[in-house]
Amino acid sequence: MTLSVRNIAKSFGGFRALDDVSLEMPADGLLGIIGPNGAGKSTLFSVMSGFMTADAGGVSLHGRPLDRLGAAARARAGMVRTFQVPREFHHLTVRENLMAAAPGQIGENLLGVFLSPRRVSAEEAAIRAEAEATMDFLRLSPVADTPAGRLSGGQKKLLELGRALMAKPRLILLDEPFAGVNPVLIGQIMDRVAALNARGIGFLVIEHDLDALSRLVPRLVVMDRGRVLATGAPDAVLADPAVREAYLGG
Ligand code: ADP
Ligand code: MG
């Protein structure tokens, strides 16, 4: 089962943010994406997850084209993303943030609440239980009742991962999960990602922390100015002169 990204192009005005980008990975694998600021990494995630439409090219999961689906439908198909800048609801607690991220929202259909209150409360109980399990897994239970706006940078990244997990995805796109996170929490996030991957959940990880990323993923894609520059094992890719020049400044 494969995630396949074929020949994606995306321009903003006259500027080519993505230029013929292709990549493939096993849907339950771990793939890292690196590249200088402005290389197009976050834009690639936006196109893949349906937050932006591509000008050309396509994305498929298990051979099923996703291009006509919006972000919510792609999440239901099994692929969700996190954001470089976490998008938690500051005033809601950690528990409430997780519950709000569950698909098939309680109260989404208010009529249902009046017609079938018992069904709604069963759904709420299931979502609440899922949120508790997610907090437990991510070691967020001690801050369950804390407003998300008061979390540390690393805890916000964990919450962002938790919000993605509430959709029960097959594949998660993580945008800079270690940025602004202290080393202890980086270790904790890596450990949780590895545990989820062992359960069969695939990850695409954009990250600037090359040390951490190289320990986590067996394969890297290097992007530069909207294009894929190199693909391969971290050691081989980082020794590539073209990569050193583009990414490390020679
Ligand atoms: P990266 O994540 O690799 O740092 P981005 O994908 O965020 O890069 O951005 C790639 C390029 O596209 C940058 O030059 C950025 O300014 C531009 N860009 C990204 N999003 C938009 C947008 N919504 N409108 C205009 N330009 C954008
Ligand atoms: Mg980015």
- Go through the domains of the chain in sequence order and give each one's CATH number: 2-88+152-247 (3.40.50.300), 90-150 (no CATH)
Select from 23, 12, 25, 75 the least CA-distant residue to 49. 75
Q: Which residues have their alpha-adjacent CB atom under 5 A from ion ligand 2?
A: 41-42, 84
> Distance from the CA of 41 to the center of ligand 2, in angstroms?
5
pTM, 2 dp: 0.91
> Strand 171-175 and strand 202-206: pairing?
parallel
ipTM here: 0.98
Q: Render pLDDT for 87-99 as a digit per residue (tens, 0 to 9).
A: 888 999 999 999 9
Q: Would you place residue 146 in the very low, low, confident or very high pLDDT band (cuts 50, 70, 90)? A: very high
Measured from the CB, is residue 38 less than 6 Å from ligand 1? yes
Residue with CA closest to ligand 1 atom 26: 12
Q: Would you place residue 57 in the very low, low, confident or very high pLDDT band (cuts 50, 70, 90)? A: very high
pLDDT value for 161: 95
- Taking residues 68-97, report their average pLDDT: 91
Handedness of CA 83, 89, 95, 96 (dihedral sign): negative
**Distance (Å, rounded) from C-alpha 141 to C-alpha 127?**
15
With beta carbons less than 8 A apart as the criterion, state whether 28 and 1 touch. yes
**Distance (Å, rounded) from C-alpha 42 to C-alpha 10?**
12
Residue with CA closest to ligand 1 atom 27: 12
At 145, which amino acid appears? D
pLDDT tops 60 at residue 250: no
Q: In this structure, how many other beta carbons lie within 10 angstroms of the beta carbon of residue 90? A: 11
pLDDT value for 192: 94
Using CB atoms within 10 A of its CB, is residue 211 exposed (0-12), middle (13-18) or buried (19+)? Answer: exposed
Q: Render pLDDT for 192-206 as a digit per residue (tens, 0 to 9).
A: 999 999 999 999 999
Measured from the CB, is residue 153 less than 6 Å from ligand 1? no
